[in-house]
Chain A
Amino acid sequence: MSAVEEQRPIGYGRLKRKEDARFIRGQGTYVDDVQLPGMLHGAILRSPVAHARIASIDTSAALAHPKVHAVITGRDLEAQGLSWMPTLSADVQAVLATDKVRFQGQEVAFVIADDRYSARDALELIDVDYDTLPAVVNARKALDPDAPVIRDDLEGKTDNHIFDWESGDRAATDAVFARADVVVSQEMLYPRVHPAPMETCGAVADYDRVSGKLTLWSTTQAPHAHRTLYALVAGLPEHKIRVISPDIGGGFGNKVGIYPGYVCAVVGSIVTGKPIKWVEDRSENLMATSFARDYVMRGSIAATSEGRILGVQVDVIADHGAFNTTAQPTRYPAGFFHVFTGSYDLEAAHCSVRGVYTNKAPGGVAYACSFRITEAVYLVERMVDMLARELDADPAELRLRNFIRPEQFPYACRTGWVYDSGDYERTMRKALAIAGYDELRREQVERRARGELMGIGVGFFTEAVGAGPRRHMDILGLGMADGAELRVHPTGKAQLGISVQTQGQGHETTFAQIVAEELGIPPEDIEVVHGDTDNTPFGLGTYGSRSTPVSGAATAVVARKVREKARIVAGAMLEVAPEDLAWERGRWFVRGDPEQGATIQEIAMAAHGSLELPEGVEGGLDSETVYNPPNLTFPFGAYLCVVDVDPGTAAVRVRRFVAVDDCGTRINPIIIEGQVHGGLTDGVGMALMELIAFDEDGNCLGGSLMDYLIPTALEVPDWETDFTVTPSPHHPIGAKGIGESATVGSPPTIVNAVVDALAPYGVRHMDMPCTPSRVWEAMQGNAKPPQ
């Protein structure tokens, strides 16, 4: 490939992102940039306490504020049957509280005023009388007999239990544990963290009383799914709802669900007849929108004395907060946690997951977790490391010894997944070579002799992404297939309509490159349209690393349909049978006479022109498709981290991080590297500093960016990234998802490094975040889960 093609490829390659031209000029259009004539502004009154009965709400003083137009409470919504709404997990969630508040920050009233300032001022004029109740904060205690019942709104509910779910074979797992030489067990907490996208959540609702049409600009990763849900929730006909997801400043799962604020904006617009803007502030985002993780995991791993892993068993208490609002395929209440056997060829495995309510914000799967794969990978990678310590084996060698081997693919794992492709050893060896692993271990010995604390963390992950086959996967009955629609204009320029919505992933570039690769049209000649339900085909949205596996496949398929249509038209143009034509990038030509041919641009003009087409062939080249993935894709990677811990202050510095990712076919390496860099940075954040903490009364202690820390460039090393390519055999272009790989793979690798550094102190495990204080406590033999 020439240097020019390298920079401006027609097809795959290092193309600069098309969307960056507007972003780097500050010319993006986010929800908060939407200004409509007569628009009013909403603000939400939130509960100051975690659990309380609402004795009364007095809104009269707020209504008397000269700039206030309306104050909506749960009672007002009740009249319209909207005080509760269904969640994505077969539960209900209060839009505005009527009976009780169940977490600090819960929505209680919605004020509509001339401007944001007045709306906020008026919140302080609402008088709510709360009768405080005891709060349940610790998931381990949620099912204690004396725990207060949070969800007494649910008929007959007498405890805080949500669900029990299991996967794998308990008896077979018990049997391998019984005959194992070595068993290692550990309870570990994957703490509650938050996606904290740069742009908070918000909406502008504009209900037209004449046409009955609602236009809703909102921060959504799934505009089509939202449209259908609004139709089901609000009773508006679906064709009278247009959801527009404009530029989105980061999602990470935070913008998958429907929040009460969106519904309030819609109701507010219907009530006032004016457009209503509601955009939450940073504290609201951190305190009330979808958090991630909060999994208490008790894991065990069994092995022979030679280091052959036999089985893994894990029991989980899943803290879902006050309402079960997690977003995941319906049949999987614990998401894809049952991929916890990881990258290893085991004899047996079993997990049980128990979901519980607590007086904490609802949510659960957000933050680039691939539906709980983050938790699963953390568990197995920590367990394997602990096993290595127990066996006095090298953690890299132990992994190499137990990997699923290339010839075993497609590999049916013990919990039912069929891994599509992989060559784990090759990827692992590449990472070890880049890191100079043996040299690092020698350096570690020398440093330890000097009293220095250097740690080397090894991690390997396999993800299951691209949900998913509609036979197995739906969200509220909506199958997880994606449409794509490709229009080719007479001059050969094209417009691709996709259902998935970028929040920074670079869809406008990547998807144009897929069409370019298939049709030979330059990417700059392809406009990618997305984020507007009136102009794009139906699909389930961007999350769980599903855009390339599902919509990327749909795009390749629809481009191939156009190509086949072009073949028929080219046959008519060249007066040969279509079967006698051959394709080279961007052109059909006559087999045996390559001079005779037509470019896709020429064909497009002919298809719209006066050319006589064969009987039954319609003009134009436009095509559409719906892609139902036959399986998930299984990206994987080998990560290696070097940390230094200051023995005096216990501060952790990440010195090096090597990431070798395999996401199959690589469409745009710049974008892939960007995804990996971002995910690794997320991982440093989770491993070292991020935590949504609560006090025992349920007060959120992470409600601002002063309290909830996000890493900066100064906490991260220069990333050393590389890759291998193992295409997916079932994906049309062999691509796998990459959006969450690094977020999944990096936290256990960093914790493995920290624990390795602390080995001289006898530390076997410590929970995240590895703050200086918590590391020091681990060094004193006093490692505790965070509060």
Chain B
Amino acid sequence: MQVPSPFEYERATSVEHALELLARLGPDARLLAGGHSLLPMMKLRLASPEYLIDIDPLAGELGYVREQDGEVRIGAMTRHRELLESELLARRVAIFTDAERVIADPVVRNRGTIGGALCQADPAEDLSAVCAAADARVVVRGRDGERVLDMRAFHRGAYETAVEDGEMVTEIRVPLHPGAGSAYEKVERRVGDWAVVAAGAAVRLSDGTIEHAAIALAAVGGDVTSPAAAEALAGRPPSEELFAEAAGIAAAGCSPVTDQRGSAEYKRHVAAELTLRALRRATARALREES
């Protein structure tokens, strides 16, 4: 049995209560959501917070996927399983469904939350790339009010987000557009392993051309998104050649490192391959050729 260092435990019963506890206990307190990153890190003693604030009781208040004002609004405590099973997401923003199919395993998906995943900001984490590709915005709440950040502002790099001491993520907002399609592709060594590389793509088509595109990569370092690749796609009609060109740009711009999951050369190669495949499927979905 791997055992963590001693810590104190508090249980928050509302968002307000959680924020109050964060303010009172200070920067040595950590929020415990699904616990599937934090608890293993504590057991390995890679993390030793003095206080845990358990926000599991907020799963009701912050557990939802609903359409509102032209957006999908996802509560931060929504479990992976609920994202996977959401018909709304499958129909309108299928990149979530694609990703959730290959995130961890059912046991983890039953507990892990979208807010926890985004705040953990593991470099191989899938939902950061998904949200970036989907142009999602993140609602960060503190005792003084809310901030709504896009993913570029929210996700600052490996294990680093814009969430300040005393703040927490409460909601993720994903815009809905007609003619839009999105997809996610991942290579892993085994089901439940972190991604070797993953790529997400979202496109909006209008009159046979790509009006807007976004590409995001996981596990290849640097920026999650690839604005240059997105730019190359915008305003041009979709084609295999164009996808390959964008995929090449995305791969060239990423900065993978060699590790147990694979060599940097392989990761760069497969980043291009997966980007290409994601663009293909996203476009097919936008054209309603594929759901």
Contacts and interface: CB of A to CB of B under 8 A. Distances in A.
B68 interface: no
11 contacts: A117-B6, A281-B3, A648-B270, A650-B266, A651-B187, A688-B189, A709-B190, A712-B105, A715-B190, A772-B262, A777-B265
Contacts of B44: 283, 704
Interchain residue pairs A-B with the least CB separation, the first 9: A773-B262, A773-B266, A281-B2, A714-B191, A648-B273, A709-B190, A649-B187, A776-B266, A120-B3
Interface in B187-233: 187, 189-194, 196
Given A116-B1, A117-B3, A701-B260, A712 B270 contact: no
A279 B3 CA distance: 12
Interface string A644-678: 00001111000000000000000000000000000
Interface string B16-47: 00000000000000000000000010001000
A711 B187 contact: no
A261 to B, nearest CB: 14
Contacts of A330: none
Interface string B248-291: 00000000000011110111011001100100000000000000
Contacts of B196: 771-773
Nearest to B2: A281
B110 interface: no
B189 A689 contact: yes
A489 B68 CA distance: 76
Contacts of B269: 776
B106 to A, nearest CB: 11
Contacts of B261: 771, 773
Contacts of A776: 266, 269-270
A193 to B, nearest CB: 14
B195 to A, nearest CB: 11
A306 interface: no
Nearest to B5: A121
Given A121-B6, A648-B273, A649-B274, A777 B190 contact: no
Given A688-B190, A706-B194, 15 more contacts: A32-B1, A116-B1, A117-B3, A117-B6, A281-B2, A283-B44, A648-B277, A651-B187, A691-B260, A693-B260, A702-B260, A704-B44, A711-B190, A772-B196, A773-B261
Contacts of B3: 116-117, 120, 281
Interface string A671-712: 000000000000000001101010000000110101101011
B243 to A, nearest CB: 13
A711 B3 CA distance: 25
A120 B193 CA distance: 28
A561 interface: no
Nearest to A775: B266
Given A282-B2, A773-B196, A773-B262, A689 B190 contact: yes
A199 to B, nearest CB: 11
Interface residues of A, number: 33
Interface residues of B, number: 28
A120 B6 CA distance: 10
Contact of B187 (A32, A706, A772): A772
A736 B40 CA distance: 43
A281 B187 CA distance: 30
Nearest to B191: A714
A494 to B, nearest CB: 39
Nearest to B276: A648
A777 B262 CA distance: 10
Contact of A709 (B189, B262, B266, B274): B189
B270 A649 contact: yes
Contact of B270 (A689, A706, A772): A772
A279 B5 CA distance: 18
B266 A777 contact: yes
Contacts of B191: 712, 714-715
Contacts of B190: 688-689, 709, 711-712, 715
Contacts of A704: 44
B180 to A, nearest CB: 25
B6 A712 contact: no
Contacts of B2: 281-283
A395 B262 CA distance: 31
Contacts of A691: 260
B98 to A, nearest CB: 15
Interface in A354-397: none
A693 B261 CA distance: 11
Nearest to A120: B3
A707 B6 contact: no
Contacts of B6: 117, 121
Nearest to A202: B1
Contacts of A688: 189-190
The winner among B6, B187, B196 for most chain A CB atoms within 10 A is B187
Contacts of B270: 648-650, 772, 776
Interface string B121-143: 00000000000000000000000
Nearest to B262: A773
Contact of A771 (B192, B262, B273, B277): B262
B266 A772 contact: yes
A689 B189 CA distance: 7
B161 to A, nearest CB: 22
A691 B262 CA distance: 13
Nearest to A649: B187
A282 B40 CA distance: 12
Interface string A750-787: 00000000000000000000011110110000000000
Interface string A537-554: 000000000000000000
Contacts of A702: 260
A771 to B, nearest CB: 5
Nearest to A704: B44
Contacts of B267: 773
Interface in A620-659: 648-651
B251 to A, nearest CB: 13
B183 to A, nearest CB: 15
Nearest to B269: A776
A771 B1 contact: no
A281 B4 CA distance: 12
B1 A281 contact: yes
Interface in B152-207: 187, 189-194, 196
A777 B265 CA distance: 9
B108 to A, nearest CB: 12
A709 B40 CA distance: 16
A650 B270 CA distance: 9
Contacts of A32: 1
A359 to B, nearest CB: 19
Nearest to B185: A649
Contacts of A706: 40, 193-194
B274 A773 contact: no
Contacts of B266: 650, 772-773, 776-777
A649 B274 CA distance: 8
A649 B260 CA distance: 16
Given A283-B2, A773-B261, A712 B192 contact: yes
A707 B194 CA distance: 10
- Of A32, A689, A704, A771, the most chain B CB neighbours within 10 A belong to A771
A693 B193 CA distance: 17
A777 B269 CA distance: 11
A709 B193 contact: yes
A116 B43 CA distance: 13
Contacts of B265: 777
B178 to A, nearest CB: 31
Contacts of B193: 706, 709
B263 to A, nearest CB: 5
B260 A707 contact: yes
Interface in A276-290: 279, 281-283
Nearest to A693: B260
Nearest to A780: B265
Interface in A704-727: 704, 706-707, 709, 711-712, 714-715
A283 B265 CA distance: 30
